């Protein structure tokens, strides 16, 4: 006998991004088409082939964490705490002892804290093992963003994280949706956090030729779907949302942004970094999310694309959308907010899920900026350069990662049954 699926809704949002350290600041940046890409300031990149990134700006962890505690955490944890604090405030949820065991945390990261790894490794080589910090491991490992948020809030339900590269934040939200849907929690604090703009990380991605080398024009370097795209721009930050079981949210009078209704996850089983040339994994993950939600392709009005600004991804994601949606693909609005935020790796799925929910709630679609030269292989409506008003019934958020790991989240406008 099939179990009745519990409905799950979004009640709180939190962001730290390269274009703003809150939901409102970030959304204003998206609507203004503002790029968060600039020259790297976190370290001297003058000898690097890539000297640009989308860094978080004017962020002080001491606004959120006491100094003694902040020193025990990597920057990705600082970002996760800040975004989680905002999301909880936005939701109006108080985690009391009565509900603590039904509230979980699931915050993922692709890398964790690369800064701690590089810093402590340097100490080891220069000063010996006795100089390595006792807080090195808990400041760096991926699951400590969820762990620290759990400790700070008293959330005693499921506590988890994934490290599925650029799909990690989306997997965290999708898995949280399923945790609530099957009854293992009533509330999940979920999303992604990343802080990987470091010498080793930038050098590694540059060696793969994955990054844009448009060093002479940082704000225009990230240009998804444009014929002159030459790679992604690495970014950092966090995107967190509060998911609640519908009846739980109703009982406490919560404001509901949207409903999360579908989730898909697939593998390309093809290559360590390149997507499958047939785009089969991306096709199937979108179809799976729609099937899970009981939604027809023509009900989807907006896709927040993975849209990395790399030649392979953008061409093959376009192909996947056309295969998954047929003729409706040409009636869809498809935009890549990475044109403004850069690519936040494991946090990308978190912030882009927030953007997708806001597109539904505020009836505005963020643009793809820096779109100037059409690519014949990318022939959909990418909402070029200007935001657009739209009534959206359903929005899909795509995230694809190295190793061929794919995730898709489907959100729909909340309506009473």
The domain spans of the chain are 9-251, 262-412
Distance CA 21, CA 57 (A): 8
pLDDT tens per residue, range 378-408: 999 999 999 999 999 999 999 999 999 999 9
Strands in 296-373 per DSSP E: 300-304, 333-335, 364-365
pLDDT at 308: 98
> Is 381 exposed, middle or buried (CB count within 10 Å of its CB: 0-12, 13-18, 19+)?
middle
Query: Could you check whether 9-251 and 262-412 share the same CATH topology?
Result: yes
> Is 213 exposed, middle or buried (CB count within 10 Å of its CB: 0-12, 13-18, 19+)?
middle
Catalytic residue among 166, 190, 378, 394: 166
Closest by Cα among 69, 64, 52 to 22: 64
pLDDT at 3: 60
Could you say which of 1.10.3470.10, 3.30.450.20, 1.10.287.130, 3.40.47.10 is the CATH number of the domain covering 262-412?
Answer: 3.40.47.10
Q: Maximum CA pair distance of the chain?
A: 64
Using an 8 Å Cβ cutoff, are 52 and 218 in contact?
yes
Closest by Cα among 52, 177, 106, 119 to 346: 106
Distance CA 217, CA 215 (A): 6
Structure tokens that stand for 394 in this block? 């359903």
- CA contacts within 13 A on the Cβ side of 324: 30
Mean pLDDT of the chain: 97
Paired with 410 in beta bridges are 262, 396
Pairing relation of β-strands 52-53 and 103-108? Answer: unpaired
Distance CA 59, CA 270 (A): 39
Using an 8 Å Cβ cutoff, are 258 and 411 in contact?
yes
Using an 8 Å Cβ cutoff, are 215 and 52 in contact?
yes
Q: DSSP secondary-structure letter at 25?
A: H
pLDDT tens per residue, range 141-190: 999 999 999 999 999 999 999 999 999 999 999 999 999 999 999 999 99
Paired with 389 in beta bridges are 364
Using an 8 Å Cβ cutoff, are 258 and 360 in contact?
yes
Rounded to two decimals, the pTM is 0.97
Closest by Cα among 188, 138, 182 to 158: 188
pLDDT at 54: 98
In this structure, the dihedral spanned by the alpha carbons of residues 287, 291, 293 and 297, taken in order and rounded to 10 degrees, is 60
Paired with 107 in beta bridges are 191
Structure tokens that stand for 410 in this block? 């489907």
pLDDT at 309: 98
Distance CA 102, CA 143 (A): 19
3 state SS of 358: helix
CATH number for region 9-251? 3.40.47.10
Question: Is 394 tagged catalytic?
Answer: no
pLDDT at 402: 94
Q: DSSP secondary-structure letter at 113?
A: B
Average pLDDT, 10 consecutive residues per value, the chain (417 residues):
79 98 98 98 98 98 96 97 98 98 98 94 96 95 98 98 98 98 98 97 97 98 98 98 98 98 96 92 98 98 98 98 98 98 98 98 98 98 98 98 97 90
């Amino acid at each position: 006998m099939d179990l009745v699926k519990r409905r799950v809704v979004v009640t709180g949002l939190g962001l730290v991004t390269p274009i703003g350290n809150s939901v409102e600041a970030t959304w204003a940046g998206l609507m203004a088409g503002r790029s968060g890409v600039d020259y790297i300031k976190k370290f001297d990149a003058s000898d690097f082939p890539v000297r640009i990134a989308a860094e978080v700006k004017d962020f002080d962890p001491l606004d959120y964490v006491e100094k003694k505690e902040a020193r025990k955490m990597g920057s990705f944890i600082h970002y996760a705490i800040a975004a989680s604090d905002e999301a909880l405030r936005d939701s109006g949820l108080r985690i009391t002892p009565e509900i603590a065991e039904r509230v979980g945390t699931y915050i993922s990261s692709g890398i964790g804290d690369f800064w701690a790894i590089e810093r402590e490794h340097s100490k080891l080589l220069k000063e010996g093992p006795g100089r390595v910090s006792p807080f090195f491991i808990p400041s760096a490992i991926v699951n400590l963003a969820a762990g620290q948020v759990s400790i700070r809030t008293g959330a005693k339900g499921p506590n988890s994280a994934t490290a599925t590269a650029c799909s990690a934040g989306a997997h965290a939200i999708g898995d949280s949706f399923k945790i609530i849907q099957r009854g293992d929690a009533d509330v999940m604090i979920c999303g992604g956090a990343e802080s990987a703009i470091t010498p080793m990380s930038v050098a590694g991605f540059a060696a793969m030729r994955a990054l844009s080398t448009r060093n002479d024009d940082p704000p225009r370097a990230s240009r998804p779907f444009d014929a002159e795209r030459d790679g992604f721009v690495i970014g950092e930050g966090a995107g967190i949302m509060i998911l609640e079981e519908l009846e739980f949210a109703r009982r406490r009078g919560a404001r509901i942004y949207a409903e999360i209704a579908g989730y898909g996850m697939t593998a390309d089983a093809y290559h360590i970094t390149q997507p499958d040339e047939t785009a089969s994994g991306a096709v199937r993950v979108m179809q799976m999310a729609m099937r899970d939600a009981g939604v027809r392709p023509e009900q989807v009005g907006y896709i927040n694309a993975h849209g990395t600004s790399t030649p392979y991804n953008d061409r093959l994601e376009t192909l996947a959308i056309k295969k998954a949606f047929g003729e409706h693909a040409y009636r869809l609005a498809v935009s890549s907010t990475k044109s403004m935020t850069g690519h936040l790796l494991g946090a990308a799925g978190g912030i882009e899920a927030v953007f997708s929910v806001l597109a539904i709630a505020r009836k505005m679609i963020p643009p793809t900026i820096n779109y100037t030269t059409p690519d014949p292989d990318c022939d959909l409506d990418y909402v070029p350069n200007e935001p657009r008003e739209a009534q959206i019934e359903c929005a899909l958020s795509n995230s694809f990662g190295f190793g061929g790991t794919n995730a898709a989240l489907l959100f729909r406008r909340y309506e009473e049954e």
